[in-house]
Structure 1
Amino acid sequence: MNYQYITLAITHGVATLTLNRPEVHNAFDDVMIAELIDALQQVEQDEQARLLVLRSNGRNFSAGADLAWMRSMADKNYDENIADANELARLMANLDALSKPTIAVVQGAAFGGAVGLAACSDIVLAEERSSFCLSEVKIGLIPAVISPYVMRAIGTRQSRRYMLTAERFSAAQAQQMGLVHSIVEDFDTALAELTETFLANSPAAVSACKKLIADIDQQPIAAESQRLTIERIAEIRVSAEGQEGLTAFLEKRSPNWKKDPQ
C-alpha cells in the first residue's frame, strides 16, 4: 500500500509509525485508518521490528476524527456506519494486541480517538504542554469504540467525569490517572533510553509477557489463572530464547538477542 497520510520506517529494530497530516493536526479519516491497519500488520510480520514507536508530525499528536469524514458518515445509513466503525475498532484492537512493545509519543493535543491510540499503547510519553480530551459528547457523539481501552487505562471513575464533561485535561492529570507514564523534556532522549532497555530484553519473552498481561487482566486469582501462569512459565523456560537466556546468565555473558538488530 502506498501511504498518503502516514509514514513507516523500520531501522535498527525500531519501527517508527508517524501520523503525517500536520495541516489538519493529524486528524484521521477512513484512509488514514486503513493505512494504520496495514502498517501495523507489516510491523507484526517483520521479524526485524522489535519495538513500535507511534508519533506524529506537527504541533499536535492528533485532533481525533476528521470532521469532514464524520460529516460524510452522517449521510450514511446504519449499516454503512457499522462497517465504518468496525475499521476503527480493528485499528484499536490491532494496536492493543500487537506482539511488539509500543510507545506513543504525544506532543501537544490528543483529542477523541487519539486518546484511544494512547490507551492502546504500552507506554505513553508526553511533554508538559500535552493535553488530552475525550471530546465526543460536545458534537453529539460518544467515545464508544475507544471506551474499553480508555476505561482500562484511567478507570471507570475518571471516565465518568472526562467522557461526560468533555473537559480537556493536562499531561500531569493524565499521568496521575494512569494514561501517561512519563512527562519528558526531550522525546528523543527518552526514546533512546527506552529503546536500549527494550532491545536488551528477549524478544520472545517480551511478546509472551505482553500476551500474559492481556490474558490475566481482570481475571480473578483462581485455579484457571494459576493454571495459565504455570503453563506460560513452563513454555518460556523450554523455548529457544528461554534456554539461551538462562545459559547466558549462568555463563556470565550477554544473550544472543542483545546483538544490534540489522
Structure 2
Amino acid sequence: MFETLTIETDERGVATLTLNRPDKHNAMSARMLADLTQAAAQLGSDPAVRVVVLTGAGKSFCAGGDLGWMRAQMAADPETRFVEARKLAEMLQALNTLPKPLIGALQGNAFGGGVGLASVCDVALGVDSLKMGLTETRLGLIPATIGPYVIARMGEARARRVFMSARLFDAGEAVELGLLARAVPADALGAAVEAEVTPYLACAPGAVASAKQLARDLGPRIDDAVIDHTIRALVDRWETEEAGEGIGAFFDKRRPNWG
C-alpha cells in the first residue's frame, strides 16, 4: 500500500511503522509525507492497534527533508510552495494527534525533519551512537513546521541551544535536551522499546487516548493558527536568496557564500 513505509502489526496490537527509504537515509520526500499522513489515519482508526513504534530502515532514522523535494520548492511558485509546506505540517500534526501511544526507536542519524519526527513521539529512544541536529540553517532555511513540536518537547530555553546553530549533538545531549527519554546500546534498543510498549497493553485503550488528548490540551498550544504561522515562515524562507544559495551550494558540492 505504501511506497516509502512498511507497517507490521503483531498479535498484541503493537504496530511497527518503518520509514523505508534506506538508500536515501529515509529522507522525507513528497511521497513519504503523503504515506505518513495516510498511515497515521489508518493506525489511529484501527481498533486492533494498541501502540505504534516509529523507526527507520537501514543506517539512519531520518536524514530530514529530501533535498530533491526542497530544490523543487525553490523552482515552484509561492502557491505551490504553500501547498507543499502544508503537506509537511499536516503530516506532523497527524502523528502528533495519533490517538495511540507513539514510541520512537532511533538509530544512526536524525537531522532536521527527523528531529521533528522524534518530537511528535510520546517517548523517543535512541541508540547511544545516535547523532542529531536541526541542520536547516546551514541551507539558509529554518526549522519552521517542526518548530512547535521541537519547542514543546524541549522547552524554549533548551531548544535555543540547538535550534539556530545547526550543530550536531550526540545521544547523551539529546537526553539532556529532552528529545530522547533514554539512550541505549544498539543491541539493547529492542528491549528498551519493549519496556515502553508493555505497560500500555494493560491499560484501557480509550483511557490512553483520552489521557494523551488531555496532555496535549494542557501543553503548548499547537492549533491551526500556529501551524499556519509555521507554514508561512517556511514559505517565506524558501523565497530568500539565502535559501537559493544554500540549497544550490549543497547540490554544487561547494561552500555557500556565508561559510
> Which residue does the alignment assign to 1:197?
199
> Which residue does the alignment assign to 1:182?
182
**Count of matched residue pairs:** 218
Greater shift in the superposed pair: 8-17 or 92-101: 8-17
1:174-221 Cα offsets, whole Å, 9 max, x none, are 1011110011221211122222211011111111111111112259xx
1:83-104 Cα offsets, whole Å, 9 max, x none, are 0000110011011111100001
Q: Distance in 2 between matches of 1:176 and 1:156?
A: 14
| Structure 1 residue 158: Cα displacement | 2.6
1:224-258 Cα offsets, whole Å, 9 max, x none, are xxxxxxxxxxxxxxxxxxxxxxxxxxxxxxxxxxx
Q: 1:71-150 to 2 correspondence within 5 Å?
A: 71-150=71-150
Q: Helix, strand or coil for the counterpart of 1:164?
A: coil
TM-score (norm 2): 0.82
| Structure 1 residue 110: Cα displacement | 0.2
TM-score (norm 1): 0.81
| Structure 1 residue 58: Cα displacement | 0.6
> Which residue does the alignment assign to 2:159?
159
| Structure 1 residue 161: Cα displacement | 2.8
Q: Helix, strand or coil for the counterpart of 1:61?
A: coil
Q: What stretches of structure 1 move > 4 A for 4+ residues in a row?
A: none
Q: Distance in 1 between matches of 2:9 and 2:204?
A: 19
Q: 1:237-252 to 2 correspondence within 5 Å?
A: none
The question of 1:8 aligning with 2:10 is answered no
Structure 2 unpaired stretches of 5+: 222-259
Q: Helix, strand or coil for the counterpart of 1:71?
A: helix
Q: Which has the higher contact order (CA 8 A, sep 6+)?
A: 2
Q: Helix, strand or coil for the counterpart of 1:91?
A: helix
Q: Helix, strand or coil for the counterpart of 1:55?
A: strand
Q: Is the 8 A contact 2:50 2:101 kept in 1?
A: yes
Q: Helix, strand or coil for the counterpart of 1:215?
A: helix
Q: Helix, strand or coil for the counterpart of 1:162?
A: coil
| Structure 1 residue 160: Cα displacement | 2.2
Pair 76,174 (structure 1): closer, same or farther in 2 beyond 3 Å: same
RMSD, aligned α-carbons: 1.2
| Structure 1 residue 15: Cα displacement | 1.2
> Which residue does the alignment assign to 2:214?
212
Counterpart AA for 2:216:
A
> Which residue does the alignment assign to 1:30?
30
Greater shift in the superposed pair: 100-109 or 9-18: 9-18
Q: Is the 8 A contact 2:152 2:219 kept in 1?
A: no
> Which residue does the alignment assign to 1:257?
none
Q: Distance in 1 between matches of 2:220 and 2:5?
A: 34
